[in-house]
Chains A and B, each alone.
Chain A
Amino acid sequence: GAGVSQSPSNKVTEKGKDVELRCDPISGHTALYWYRQSLGQGLEFLIYFQGNSAPDKSGLPSDRFSAERTGGSVSTLTIQRTQQEDSAVYLCASSLGGGLGYTFGSGTRLTVV
């Protein structure tokens, strides 16, 4: 597609439930990033995929968080047993690599009640 597509745009879930957030990067972009923005905070790095390399998971806040990228394209961020502190806007970005030219999606606003 023309841009980075994220779904759903909004998600309200009950505490303790699992959620899956999806990201469709720009075709041909080899790098894919997940960030989140909690209220009043900056963009917090979560995980980075580059081609066939092992992902950089150093930003995942707990083992309840996981992500995969199938076929080098679509990525899914999974949060298990959601907690209220997981409430945030989850942003996906893709690029050709090298840290330049990130294109962000519009994000998924997750609310855990």
Chain B
Amino acid sequence: DQQVKQNSPSLSVQEGRISILNCDYTNSMFDYFLWYKKYPAEGPTFLISISSIKDKNEDGRFTVFLNKSAKHLSLHIVPSQPGDSAVYFCAASASGANSKLTFGKGITLSVRP
């Protein structure tokens, strides 16, 4: 039972264009959402997060949007750079759930020079 779903396994975009990575969740108790980035042979690293009291959080080229009614969030990267090529995981947690994160399957982003 996948509570966090990343339905597209891969995305390819041209350098300089926008990358939009989507994530859906089913557990209405989730109230904190995070994106992690993973390069091969390395552990995931934290990228950006958003609390359910917000609908947008921006950090440089990275913006996360949250639509609670649709149980959907997206990560926008603009402009995309070749160094952004990696696997991106969406994760969610619920307050009081001992801070355990539930991850999606990840999406592989390729940014073409």
Contact = CB atoms under 8 A, between A and B. Distances in A.
B59 to A, nearest CB: 15
Query: Chain B: interface secondary structure?
Result: loop
A56 B42 contact: no
Interface residues of A, number: 27
Given A35-B103, A50-B98, A101-B46, A42 B4 contact: yes
A45 B101 contact: yes
A41 B32 contact: no
Interface string A19-44: 00000000000010101000011111
A101 B45 CA distance: 9
Interface string A83-113: 0000000010101011111111111000000
A42 B88 CA distance: 10
A4 B105 contact: no
Interface residues of B, number: 24
Contacts of B105: 40-42
Given A42-B4, A43-B89, A102 B41 contact: no
Interface string B6-49: 10000000000000000000000000100010000111111001
A65 interface: no
21 contacts: A31-B99, A33-B101, A42-B105, A43-B89, A43-B91, A43-B101, A43-B103, A44-B103, A45-B102, A45-B103, A56-B98, A91-B43, A95-B99, A99-B99, A99-B100, A102-B46, A104-B45, A105-B43, A106-B41, A106-B42, A107-B43
Interface of B: 2, 4, 6, 32, 36, 41-46, 49, 89, 91, 93, 98-106
